[in-house]
Chains A and B, each alone.
Chain A
Amino acid sequence: MTQQTNLSFSGLNAQQIKQLERESRREHWGRAWYKFSRNSLSIVGAVTILIIVFLAIFAPYVTPYPDHATKPFTDFANASQPPSLEHLFGTDEIGRDIFSRTIFGFRFSLSMGVIVLSLVVPVGVLLGLIAGYYQGTRIDSIIMRTTDIFLSVPSLILALAIASVLEPNLSHSMIAISLMWWPWYTRLVYGQTTALRNEFFVSSAEVTGASTAHILFREILPNILSSIFTKMSLDMGWVIIIGASLSFVGLGVQPPKPGLGTMVASGAKYLPDQWWISLFPALAIVVIVLGFNLLGDGLRDLFAAEEV
């Protein structure tokens, strides 16, 4: 098997090979997009998320009164105005524009979700891969029993405990949520890894002498990514809800910063007469969480169809 060969005997030159590669990639993504686009609810979810992300990033330019959200501001002459053309969502008890503050509130919700998940997912996935690949060994039991311990601590209570020890603010509540969240990814990945490690393609890589890193990240992980992405999308909604709950009880975003949960809490005193102070931030939470859930459901269907 040592004779030298070149590509020409196959009737293809390097350029044609590149062309083939491009075509196959286009076909691959084209099929994925086709399946995704046929599910109208997932498109609604994806568009909702895109709009919210756009609004959050460009909040200073798309909101009528950015100062009401970013600086200490009071305007008692305009306090507690109902929704009007000037103030789409009305104004709150000290005269700030609720529409502007809600758009800025998306920033806190989104960054909370993104930061928590980007802390939690790599750790959880890596531990799940390792424990699953070394199933039945001591490494497996250490990782999975630790996981069980963390799962048995209620996250809201831990967040309360952390807040009572440390100063209550956004980063501390993110730490609390992250501590509680990684075990779910470890469990998800563990279950799938234990099944995949017995597949012959893993044995084949081992027989040939592939490194453990190759087997974990190149052979096993790509087969689990679909479940991970689906869970991440659904979890974005959950993290945002928990973040809003923590803000509602005063452990998350601190006033005067416009956290959505904080705004719902501060408006709750004025219900039901000045309903708009709480209602619009609450609706914003519903919309963003619904968007992520629809997107997650769409991704799940997409990946389920691809297995066939």
Chain B
Amino acid sequence: MTEDILTITDLKKHFVIGHNGLIHRTPITVKAVDGVSLSLRKGETFGLVGESGSGKSTVAYMTVGMYRPTSGTIRFRGEDLFDGSKERSKRHKKEIQIVFQDPGSSLNPRRSIKDILDLPLRIHQPQKNRLEEIVRLLSLVELPPEYMYKYPRQLSGGEKQIVAIARALATDPSIIVLDEPTSALDVSIQGKVINLLIRLQQEFELSFLFITHDLSLMRNVASRVAIMYLGKICEVADAAEFFENPLHPYTQMLLSSIPVLTEEEEALKPVKVESRGEIPSPVNVPPGCSFHSRCPYAEAICKQVDPEMKEIRPGHTVRCHLFASDRSQA
């Protein structure tokens, strides 16, 4: 078993979005992330999957330090990233990088590709010949050196995202958080970007925390997959196990709703669960198991008690009453 290089423990992020009452002001909070624990191993791709509003991007933003957690810890090789001090360590800034979803917004339209790639180098590798480094970074992502003097508006969406990947590589990180890196791209480009990411991962032993809503993409890319629903993780498993033997009703529902072309493909789906309803507002999370309002198997207990995370098989954990204690054979 390879080492865990990132450990997230009981991570919470509650946003205050307003107040109730005039005198006794009780804050209205959104529990965007409400007790997430996961670990990322060296060199692996961990897929964090969820619908919009599930809190998956908030986990990504906390991992790179854009938000401070309300509670819980994020440890990089055992070192707490938000260790009381106000400023994150320079090591954190270097070792954990991010690629954002929207390549249009992630590159400054007024700065050339050279300037964009120069910033992380200037901060973290000032002793190197930065022009050489920029050319090398561009060649790593298979862009010609002439691109140095282009501006973002002269690039296609896919090329912008590739530049964003090169920028993330510039600090020589161990972990790259990929926040839906391909969802804003044309389908024809998505495969190219994914293949580039996989090649870079092997070349530099990178660990990816891959945030996405695209389950079928995770089948090919991730080594482990976690499903998030309303700020909580419902199920974590190795990718193969996850797609062959999904346990949580929500996972089953998501897998059933992957669109397919042929009946043969349809027959490959492990369990079929009709999708119903939409994700409730995170301001008003249902009591008990947050999924009970959409769950076809919901029972009385589901409406009252929030289930605990439970390991059903080695490496396969589920948060669901259907698998609680004595009924785990189900």
What chain B residues lie within 8 Å of A28 (beta carbons)? 151
- A sample of 24 inter-chain contacts (CB < 8 A) reads A5-B136, A6-B132, A10-B135, A10-B138, A10-B145, A11-B145, A17-B131, A20-B149, A199-B105, A200-B100, A201-B105, A201-B108, A203-B66, A204-B106, A207-B64, A207-B65, A208-B93, A208-B97, A208-B119, A208-B171, A209-B123, A210-B119, A219-B108, A307-B109
What chain A residues lie within 8 Å of B167 (beta carbons)? 204
Give A168-207 interface residues, CB cut-off 8 Å to B.
199-201, 203-207
Give A193-236 interface residues, CB cut-off 8 Å to B.
199-201, 203-210, 214, 218-219, 222-223
Give A199's nearest chain B residue, CB to CB.
B105
Complex Cα–Cα for A9 and B148 (A): 16
Instruction: Please tell me the number of chain B residues within 8 Å of chain A, measured between CB atoms.
Output: 43
Known: A1-B204, A5-B136, A209-B123. Contact between A204 and B109, CB under 8 A? no
Measured CB to CB, the closest approach of chain A to B313, in angstroms, equals: 36
Give B155-169 interface residues, CB cut-off 8 Å to A.
164, 167, 169
Q: What 18 new A-B contacts, CB under 8 Å, besides A5-B132, A7-B132, A201-B108?
A: A1-B204, A7-B131, A7-B135, A10-B138, A10-B139, A11-B145, A17-B145, A20-B149, A24-B112, A28-B151, A201-B105, A203-B98, A207-B66, A207-B93, A208-B124, A209-B90, A218-B111, A223-B109
A21 within 8 A of B: yes
Measured CB to CB, the closest approach of chain A to B19, in angstroms, equals: 15
What chain A residues lie within 8 Å of B53 (beta carbons)? none
> Which of B124, B148, B149 neighbours the largest number of chain A CB atoms within 10 Å of its CB?
B149
What chain A residues lie within 8 Å of B102 (beta carbons)? 200
> Which of B97, B110, B169, B172 neighbours the largest number of chain A CB atoms within 10 Å of its CB?
B110
> Is there an interface contact between B146 and A20, defined as CB atoms closer than 8 Å?
yes
What chain A residues lie within 8 Å of B72 (beta carbons)? none
B199 within 8 A of A: no
What chain B residues lie within 8 Å of A206 (beta carbons)? 65-66
Give A205's nearest chain B residue, CB to CB.
B119
What chain A residues lie within 8 Å of B148 (beta carbons)? 17, 20
A12 within 8 A of B: yes
> Is there an interface contact between A209 and B105, defined as CB atoms closer than 8 Å?
no
> Is there an interface contact between A208 and B66, defined as CB atoms closer than 8 Å?
no
> Is there an interface contact between A210 and B106, defined as CB atoms closer than 8 Å?
no
Can you list, as one digit per residue, whether each of B256-267 has a CB less than 8 Å from chain A (1) or not (0)? 000000000000
| Interface residue ranges, A against B (CB under 8 Å) | 1, 5-7, 9-12, 17, 20-21, 23-25, 28, 199-201, 203-210, 214, 218-219, 222-223, 307-308
Complex Cα–Cα for A209 and B96 (A): 11
> Which of A201, A210, A214 neighbours the largest number of chain B CB atoms within 10 Å of its CB?
A201
Give B203's nearest chain A residue, CB to CB.
A1
Complex Cα–Cα for A222 and B111 (A): 8
B272 within 8 A of A: no
What chain B residues lie within 8 Å of A25 (beta carbons)? 149
Checking B64, B108, B132, B135 against A223 with a beta-carbon cut-off of 8 angstroms, the contacting residue is B108
> Is there an interface contact between A24 and B123, defined as CB atoms closer than 8 Å?
no
What chain B residues lie within 8 Å of A207 (beta carbons)? 64-66, 93, 97-98
B150 within 8 A of A: yes
What chain A residues lie within 8 Å of B61 (beta carbons)? 203
> Is there an interface contact between A222 and B110, defined as CB atoms closer than 8 Å?
yes
Can you list, as one digit per residue, whether each of B42-79 has a CB less than 8 Å from chain A (1) or not (0)? 00000000000000000001001110000000000000
B197 within 8 A of A: no
What chain B residues lie within 8 Å of A12 (beta carbons)? 135, 145
Give A307's nearest chain B residue, CB to CB.
B109
> Which of A11, A23, A208, A308 neighbours the largest number of chain B CB atoms within 10 Å of its CB?
A208
Complex Cα–Cα for A116 and B295 (A): 67
> Is there an interface contact between A210 and B123, defined as CB atoms closer than 8 Å?
yes
> Is there an interface contact between A208 and B123, defined as CB atoms closer than 8 Å?
yes
Can you list, as one digit per residue, whether each of B88-125 has a CB less than 8 Å from chain A (1) or not (0)? 10100110011010100111111110000001100110
What chain A residues lie within 8 Å of B66 (beta carbons)? 203, 206-207
